[in-house]
Amino acid sequence: MTPWELEGTELINCNCAYGCPCQFNALPTKGRCEALGAIAIDKGHYGDVSLDGLKLAVVMRWPGAIHEGKGACQPVVDRNADAGQREALLKIMSGQDTEPFATMFAVFATTFETVFEPIVTDIDFDVDVDARRGKVNARDVLEMNGEPIKNPVTGEEHRARIDLPHGFEYEIAEMGSASGRSIGNLALTLKDSYAQFARLHLNNQGPIRHRAAA
């Protein structure tokens, strides 16, 4: 198994209501799951291959709950990555060189029946986790715009977090609202739905934890 590790930031937008039932082992809000996501890697490696400064994105769709399978995935890789870095990113994204079910990549990989050929494109990523704001544009594939949840009465920003001491993706994620769309093999349109802003630190064994579990 080739050792790998990455530290970075993610923005995820799915079609569920704020909070996302998946985070609580419940069924999706609308009976199906549709999601857009992107990660900016601040620091990382796959064996001797540096992943510093690279980005990746993904479009995913399942006809029911994720654990029921039959999903489809469109991987997207940063054009700035060279051939070796692209191969490394795709191996991580597809759950390879990872202990079974240790990361979200490895978990999701078991639920896809269709994975489209990766798209290599420019990925613009500007995400502030603490402010719960972000914009992502993977050229000719997807775009997302995230912002804080607003109080429906006062219009003030509302802050909520999800803490998963034993999760396979993050330790704490800030909740927000986002709208996004994708074109191509998986054309999705999401409007004012669940958004997740999180800092990631992952390796072959799963999340590297920096907080004591409650």
Per-residue pLDDT reduced to its tens digit, 117-172: 999 999 999 999 999 999 999 999 999 999 999 999 999 999 999 999 999 999 99
CATH fold of 4-206 reads Acetoacetate decarboxylase-like (2.40.400)
**Alpha-carbon gap, residue 86 to 76, rounded angstroms:** 10
Q: In this structure, what DSSP letter does residue 20 have?
A: -
How far, in Å, CA of 12 to CA of 64, rounded?
18
Collapsing DSSP states into helix, strand and coil, what is residue 170?
A: coil
Q: Where are the domains of the chain?
A: 4-206
pLDDT exceeds cutoff 70 at 214: no
- The token pair that represents 66 in the structure block: 């994720």
Q: Tell me the torsion sign for CA atoms 92, 62, 207, 146.
A: positive
Q: How confident is the model at residue 80 (pLDDT cuts 50, 70, 90)?
A: very high
* Average pLDDT score, the chain: 96
CA-CA-CA-CA torsion for 66, 85, 44, 133, nearest 10 degrees?
-60
213 pLDDT band (50/70/90 cuts)? low
Tokens for 37?
């996501």
pLDDT interval class at 20 (50, 70, 90): very high
- What is the average pLDDT across 76-85? 98
